[in-house]
Chain A
Amino acid sequence: MKKLPLASTREVRKWAVTTARTNGREFSLMIGTFCLATLIGLAGPQLLGLLVDSVTAGTTTGRIDLLAGVFVVVLLLQAWIKRGARLRARKFGEHVLADTREQFVGNALTLPLGTVEGTGTGDLLSRATTDLSRVDHAVRNAAPEILVAIVAVLLTTVAMVLTSPLLSLGLLVAVPLLAATTTWYQRRVPARMQEMLDSWGTLQSITHETVEGSRTSEALGLTERRVGFGRHALDDALLGERKLRALQVRWMPSLEISYVLPIAVMLLLGAFAYGQGWVGLGTVTTMLLYAQAMTTPLNEALFWLEDLQVSLAALRRVLGVKAVESSSATEAPSGRDIAVSDVRFGYTEGREVLHGIDLQVPRGERLAIVGPSGAGKSTLGRLLAGISAPTSGSIQIGGTEVSTLADDVLRGEVLLLTQEHHVFSGTVRENLALPARRAGGEWTDDELRNALASVGASAWVSALPNGLNTEIGSGSHPVPAGVAQQLALARVVLADPHTLVLDEATSLLDTGSARDLERSLSAVLKGRTVIAIAHRLHTAAAADRVAVIEAGRITELGSHADLLTADGPYAALVAAAS
């Protein structure tokens, strides 16, 4: 199974720059308020320095009271501005998150069917859930905290240099240690992080499959094996977390030391400078308090850095789902005849499945495709429905290449119906009204009811508590497999394509449902070109022509009667069935 790509670091950076730029005003206002709140906070140590100097020099209680009053005002101002900054950050964050999520789903909805089938649901699902929530968590919590920390550290450093350039030299002792260990850590962490996220992704896919296949597991006694499988994947995910922890544990001590060491050095430097009479005790106090004040934002930054890194890796997965430009041919083809010429196709290079197919299907014909399983019948069906483009050769409807048709045009021309179905959580109406209405606007109740009636699902729907507006799908009203297929057929009626490709649309249902469905199906097929990949030979017998496909080639083509007379592979197949 292929995996969807990851966005490159450059693409993530570009995304960040674009996001900041398109929301330029909000972004700079947010940063500005954070800076202001921090700046005001820096007044605290200065005030204490003044107090210390006043006390050392001998002062009046009046002056102390005044300074305390100023202190209170500064504090309240800081709190108020911090409040505003947090709110701005939140608004900005929610805006970015909503955009990111909507863009992700929007892009996923443009993925070509071939890609969707090739990658499986698990990969996309873990991007849509786990990865998006990781980004969510980071943008809501980690990003503002780290932003505050960076602003605080930068501004505090500036304040220190301005207060006493000499004592600020004390900060330098931390720099080499910090730089060396952080470089070491940062070089190793992305790979570990990716490994860890991938293992959580795998775990989630396994859980998802276990839940979806719970009946299968119970019926075939596979439950304990699934539980063991899940446990194994959980161990992998936890191992990934622990490997990350092992890295952090080696990096953290140097980090913590690097913000205590400067304080010790500054005590010594302060003593020296004070002894020389270069600085007052108040300045030494202010500087030491600044150095201490840096601990909190650095600690916060450290605490949240991991979440930010996790989310960056997750963001790469989210942004890896890119929009795919849909085909440009928005004009419906003029004719309805299908022409296939010299079509070759392989899913992987070097393993060709179809070796040169030529086929003409005139409008309104019923063509049955038969042959041993694995001969390439389904593959041909997918090419005819425009899901994949042939490796070479051409498939045209009315003279237009099928693979160049825009989605909505293609669906009005030809649809592939398989036995796979999915009931969306939502109302019956929402489950039905998927195809675009040719006349534009919304499908009317009458149109929906007629479609349901033509596939024989009226009775089921009218028995629902709220008719078309009943919530169905997982968690609400259950939908039997047979009805789910009827709903799929009703959608086909609404889409109204002139050609239908049926691939085992009924074959995997239990007998009863299959019979009901075949009745419904015949109503749907009326007046359309039908290409049916058939296993039941009575379908083939009823068709206008039969194509026998063996090992990727059409070996026989003709009417049921002609082929019986020819006494070739088809005749042998019929003989075997009776």
Chain B
Amino acid sequence: MLSATYPLPPLRLTSPVTPGGYLLAGIRARPGLMAFAAVIGALWMLPMALFPFVVGRGIDAIGAKDWPGVWQWAAVAAVLGVAQAALGTLLHFTDFGAWLHGAGSTQRVASAHAARLGATLREETTTGNVVAITSSDLNHVGDVYEVVGRAFGSLIAFVVCAVALLNSSLLLGVVALIGVPLAVLGIGPLLAPLQKRKAVQREDLSKVTALGADIVSGLRILRGVGGEKRFNSRFHEASQRVRLAGIEVGRSESWLAGAEIALPGLVTVVITWLGARLAAEGTIGVGELVAFYGVSAFLVVPVTSATEAAGALSSGLVAARKVCGLLNLRPRITDPENPVPLPEGQLELHDSATGTTFAAGRLTVIDAGAEAEALASRLARFTEAAKGERVLIGGVPAEQIALAELRARVVYAHNQDLWFSGVLAQQLDPAGPSEVGITAALFAADAEDIIDALPNGVEEVIGERGREVSGGQRQRLNLARALAIDADVLLLDEPTSAVDAHTEARITERVARLRRGKTTIVFSQSPLWTHLADEVVSSKVPA
């Protein structure tokens, strides 16, 4: 039985990371696997390379009416066949493993990095870009690792064939040794324009994919107010651009397909022609002639493997560049070099720009008007204070506090915060230690009825953005989730704007009781909150 997890050893990446460095890090993470793939790749090509010689010997034996010889060579051919089947299967297994390693590591590294960029992520890159990296570019990266075994095998097979040819005939061996690399080199110049056109098409393709994703993401709006035709024709235009770019790629590709037949084929013809002359002179046997023909025809395989490897590498580098572009992003809000620890106990918050102070351990309600979001973001250091201004948390300037500690102790819950698809309880349950249970938090947010109405209660699996529940219900669940964290400082922005007055009255009273003794800042204009506040900062804060 297969184990549930696949080992993906961490990649040791430099900072900043380069595309080549990224691909190498993948090899260094599993050197054993990559070496094994190369060895199997080489072994796998050997039976194929030897096969023409065996068939040649068989034909010689037939020509000489050497029946035991025929039996013998037929048996050797069968044995080679079995060996090739075994090695071929093993190679497929290993190559597949290498692909899993490359693609899986890329998915893991890229999505984890994106997640850890946090609030910064959406400012620095697009959702579409991250999705493209973790769904399409990872394939190209995986392909680089997948091709390693076969590429190495090709090289070995080429050397083996050349040696075998040299042993039979110096002339033919030399022709093969020079001709085949020449044929590969001859194909080379066709690759550059192909790669350039492929890059153009990939660009167009990622645009059309992004457009498709955008249309699908905004489908509610398009189906709500209209614009389907307009977006349909935008998509049509983008899609046709991809088609035309694809045909350009096809032009380059078709030359390559032709050259892959013509160039190695010419080498085969020259070898066969020389061989036939030698055979006519009686220097070599008919069987050897057949073997030469077979070997030089076989040499097409290493040649195409080499071009395939070159193609995979160049696509892989393009993809790795995109991966590196994401991995080299750094959060805007950075950790201080020498963090100052926050004092124990309750924390007081101070914002110099507005001259506001929020008392430690108290429930403060503030009507900050249009400034609310900016002020809250500053207080929780989601944005930096302006030059010359500062935010003090427990007396410590915000930018001097380690981010992990700051985020753990100061929580800023926003109405735009999302719910993820999955089990509700897993999202209500706070990540850190908390003395507030889920039940108490749900009670304080007056959200118990929502849970009761769900068929499986808190164990219910909710969908993307928690769309199953209405906006007002979602707001109460948001509040419960924030309360359950039991943070030392909790900032709530309009936490009851979408609930009815009865419910709001219950919530304000219960939240005040639950948060007693802890710093709580509520941005609200509702009288129900101000009635219960320990402190009210009522005047509009000067901007």
A98 to B242, Cβ gap below 8 A?
yes
A218 to B86, Cβ gap below 8 A?
no
* Interface residue from B239, B261, B431, B499 paired with A222 (Cβ < 8 Å): B431
Give me 6 other A-B pairs in contact (C-beta within 8 A), A295-B48, A511-B367 excluded: A1-B421, A52-B286, A68-B272, A242-B2, A495-B225, A511-B368
Give the complex CA separation of A488 and B93 in angstroms.
53
* Interface residue from B85, B250, B372, B485 paired with A252 (Cβ < 8 Å): B85
B389: chain A residues within 8 A (beta carbon): none
* Interface residue from B220, B236, B272 paired with A71 (Cβ < 8 Å): B272
B269: chain A residues within 8 A (beta carbon): 68, 71-72, 75
- Known pairs A434-B222, A510-B523; A245 contacts B289 (CB<8 A): no
- Known pairs A285-B290, A512-B373; A216 contacts B417 (CB<8 A): yes
B55 to A374, Cβ gap below 8 A?
no
Give the complex CA separation of A56 and B280 in angstroms.
8
A237: chain B residues within 8 A (beta carbon): 107
Give the complex CA separation of A447 and B56 in angstroms.
83
Q: Is A195 an interface residue (CB 8 A)?
A: no
A492: chain B residues within 8 A (beta carbon): 225
B224 to A225, Cβ gap below 8 A?
no
Q: Is B249 an interface residue (CB 8 A)?
A: yes
Interface pick from B12-20, B130-138, B165-173, B353-361: B130-138
The contact sample of 11 A-B pairs, CB cut-off 8 A, is: A52-B59, A56-B63, A72-B269, A79-B258, A98-B239, A124-B216, A205-B464, A207-B135, A215-B416, A227-B115, A372-B502
Give the complex CA separation of A137 and B209 in angstroms.
14
* Interface residue from A227, A235, A252, A254 paired with B92 (Cβ < 8 Å): A252
B221: chain A residues within 8 A (beta carbon): 421-422, 434, 488
* Interface residue from B85, B242, B472 paired with A256 (Cβ < 8 Å): B85
Min CB gap B434→A, angstroms? 10
Q: Is A76 an interface residue (CB 8 A)?
A: yes
B119 to A91, Cβ gap below 8 A?
no
- Known pairs A252-B88, A422-B217; A219 contacts B417 (CB<8 A): yes
Q: Is A398 an interface residue (CB 8 A)?
A: no
Q: Is B475 an interface residue (CB 8 A)?
A: yes
A215: chain B residues within 8 A (beta carbon): 118-119, 122, 382, 414, 416-417
Min CB gap A308→B, angstroms? 15
A374: chain B residues within 8 A (beta carbon): 449-450, 453, 469-470, 472-473
B422 to A229, Cβ gap below 8 A?
yes
Most chain A beta carbons < 10 A, residue from B219, B242, B505? B219
* Interface residue from B223, B426, B430, B471 paired with A112 (Cβ < 8 Å): B223
A263: chain B residues within 8 A (beta carbon): 51, 55, 77, 81
A434 to B225, Cβ gap below 8 A?
yes
Give the complex CA separation of A243 and B4 in angstroms.
11
A292 to B494, Cβ gap below 8 A?
no
Q: Is A122 an interface residue (CB 8 A)?
A: yes
Q: Is A111 an interface residue (CB 8 A)?
A: yes
Interface pick from A58-66, A354-362, A560-568: A58-66
Min CB gap B192→A, angstroms? 18
Q: Is A176 an interface residue (CB 8 A)?
A: no
Give the complex CA separation of A208 and B525 in angstroms.
35
Interface pick from A150-158, A182-190, A266-274, A333-341: A266-274
Chain A residue nearest in CB terms to B209: A129
Interface pick from A6-14, A461-469, A471-479: A471-479
Interface string of B388-417 (1 = CB under 8 A from A): 000000000000000000011001111111
B505: chain A residues within 8 A (beta carbon): 576-577
A510: chain B residues within 8 A (beta carbon): 372-373, 376, 414-415, 493-494, 523
Give the complex CA separation of A434 and B220 in angstroms.
12
- Known pairs A214-B118, A514-B497; A221 contacts B368 (CB<8 A): no
4 residue pairs, one from A and one from B, having the closest CB atoms: A260-B81, A90-B250, A512-B370, A434-B227
A22: chain B residues within 8 A (beta carbon): none
Chain A residue nearest in CB terms to B432: A221
A111 to B223, Cβ gap below 8 A?
yes
Min CB gap B102→A, angstroms? 12
* Interface residue from B243, B472, B498 paired with A94 (Cβ < 8 Å): B243
Min CB gap B137→A, angstroms? 11
B84 to A260, Cβ gap below 8 A?
yes
Min CB gap A200→B, angstroms? 8
Q: Is B276 an interface residue (CB 8 A)?
A: yes
Give the complex CA separation of A492 and B415 in angstroms.
24
B214 to A425, Cβ gap below 8 A?
yes
Q: Is A365 an interface residue (CB 8 A)?
A: no
Interface pick from B66-74, B176-184, B338-346: B66-74
- Known pairs A51-B276, A91-B250, A225-B431; A253 contacts B127 (CB<8 A): no
- Known pairs A98-B243, A207-B134, A229-B422; A249 contacts B92 (CB<8 A): yes
B81 to A214, Cβ gap below 8 A?
no
B135 to A245, Cβ gap below 8 A?
no
- Known pairs A219-B411, A253-B86, A271-B61; A116 contacts B220 (CB<8 A): yes
Residues from 421 to 479 in B contacting A, C-beta threshold 8 Å:
421-422, 426-427, 430-432, 449-450, 453, 463-465, 467-473, 475-476
B258: chain A residues within 8 A (beta carbon): 79-80, 82-83, 86
B81 to A257, Cβ gap below 8 A?
yes
Q: Is B188 an interface residue (CB 8 A)?
A: no
Give the complex CA separation of A52 and B89 in angstroms.
35
- Known pairs A268-B74, A372-B502; A292 contacts B51 (CB<8 A): yes
Q: Is B218 an interface residue (CB 8 A)?
A: yes
Min CB gap B372→A, angstroms? 5
A129 to B471, Cβ gap below 8 A?
no
Q: Is A217 an interface residue (CB 8 A)?
A: yes
Q: Is A557 an interface residue (CB 8 A)?
A: no
A474 to B225, Cβ gap below 8 A?
no
* Interface residue from A85, A128, A268, A424 paired with B209 (Cβ < 8 Å): A128
- Known pairs A61-B277, A268-B74, A408-B226; A83 contacts B255 (CB<8 A): yes
A95: chain B residues within 8 A (beta carbon): 243
A106: chain B residues within 8 A (beta carbon): 232
A217: chain B residues within 8 A (beta carbon): 115, 118
- Known pairs A82-B258, A133-B136, A249-B92; A535 contacts B472 (CB<8 A): yes
Q: Is A416 an interface residue (CB 8 A)?
A: yes
Q: Is A109 an interface residue (CB 8 A)?
A: yes
Q: Is B328 an interface residue (CB 8 A)?
A: no
A68: chain B residues within 8 A (beta carbon): 269, 272-273, 276
Interface string of B187-230 (1 = CB under 8 A from A): 00000000000000000010011111111111111111111111
Min CB gap A422→B, angstroms? 4
- Known pairs A94-B247, A207-B134, A508-B416; A116 contacts B223 (CB<8 A): yes
A418 to B471, Cβ gap below 8 A?
yes
B525: chain A residues within 8 A (beta carbon): 511
Chain B residue nearest in CB terms to A347: B468
A256 to B55, Cβ gap below 8 A?
no
* Interface residue from A82, A241, A243, A422 paired with B261 (Cβ < 8 Å): A82
A513: chain B residues within 8 A (beta carbon): 370, 373
Chain A residue nearest in CB terms to B257: A86
Chain A residue nearest in CB terms to B431: A221
Q: Is A84 an interface residue (CB 8 A)?
A: yes
A509: chain B residues within 8 A (beta carbon): 415, 494, 497
Most chain A beta carbons < 10 A, residue from B111, B216, B294, B503? B216
Min CB gap A322→B, angstroms? 15
- Known pairs A95-B243, A207-B130; A576 contacts B501 (CB<8 A): yes
Give the complex CA separation of A217 and B116 in angstroms.
9
A239: chain B residues within 8 A (beta carbon): 2, 4, 6
Interface string of A488-512 (1 = CB under 8 A from B): 1001100100000001100111111
B503 to A87, Cβ gap below 8 A?
no
* Interface residue from B225, B243, B412 paired with A97 (Cβ < 8 Å): B243
Q: Is A436 an interface residue (CB 8 A)?
A: yes
Give the complex CA separation of A235 and B104 in angstroms.
9
A512 to B224, Cβ gap below 8 A?
no
